[in-house]
Chain A
Amino acid sequence: MAKRQRKENIYHKEKANLVRTKEFLESGEINQLDKSVDELKNLSDNYEELLDQTVLITRISDRLQKKLDKTNDKLQHLNDQLNDKNIELQNTIDDLVKAKAGRKATTIVFVFALVLFVFSEALIEPYIDSYANNIYLSLSIKAVIAMSIKPLEMLVEDSILKAARKSTMQARQEKENAEVST
């Protein structure tokens, strides 16, 4: 209510002019020609003033609306571009995370395969030599180790990626919570 009164306050002069004219019309002075002419002149001046204001404010408002509309279009366009860039960026980040996870998985699996190889050479091979003495069994064990490398690498890579995504989600959630609280 107070805000509305403040807005109406800007027309206090025009309101005062209108009240004065109405009072004149209700008074007996309206029958006096000279006073009526003066009042009519005042009224005409006030009307001209209001017309000037109306013309100007309408033109300015129209122009402002046009400007706002153009700005809105620009913002929409920029927003679309930003969304596209965001998707591109997210894809690049995903690729980078995937590559990083791949490298990490390869290292882990390589170390694991090395340990398995050493384990088979040091412990299983002598056992086969002493008890079974079968070269095919030995080769099969090595082949199993070699063939398990790729699936194992994929499994490790998958779990690293899951962990990375979970960590990213958590970081994003924490950031959003912090923004909401501020």
Chain B
Amino acid sequence: MEKLIIEGTKQSPYVDFNAETGKLELSGRSIPENSFEFYNPLLEWLGEYAKSPQSETVLKVYLEYFNTSSSKYILEVLKKLKEVLKSNGAQVKVDWCYDEDDEEMMETGEDYEDVTGLEFDYHEIEE
């Protein structure tokens, strides 16, 4: 399965999904003009990945800011990851990173954890 790499811009986040290592990354700002167009390839990729995932999948999320429609798709990304959990013995972890003074972003991670039931690790990043 091919890697999914999308370079980040001022409006869209950097994406690096690697099926061989099971390491996935989503970082930067997410305020795309069309969230569906941006996130749909990610969801399709995860749909494929969920069919034969690595034994451990780690999604690193380090978002500085995201808009409401992105928050909907981030939830969908996490729910797709939950499908990975259903595969035999596969483990899924989310590394939720946030800037040291951005308490709101940490709380947002807690909301996602609450709704999805996935395992979250929180990392405060010093600026």
Contacts and interface: CB of A to CB of B under 8 A. Distances in A.
Interface of A: 6-7, 9-10, 12, 49, 52-53, 55-57, 59-61, 63-64, 66-67
Contact of B68 (A49, A60, A67): A60
Taking chain A's interface residues, is the majority helix, strand, or loop, or is none over half, making it mixed?
A: helix
Given A6-B34, A10-B36, A57 B104 contact: no
B68 A61 contact: yes
A12 B112 contact: no
Contacts of B34: 6, 9
Contact of B75 (A9, A12, A52): A52
A6 B107 contact: no
B104 A67 contact: yes
B69 interface: yes
A56 B36 contact: no
B20 interface: no
Given A12-B36, A63-B107, A52 B115 contact: yes
Contacts of A55: 115
B73 interface: yes
Given A9-B36, A60-B108, A63-B104, A53 B75 contact: yes
B2 interface: no
Interface string B30-59: 000111100000000000000000000000
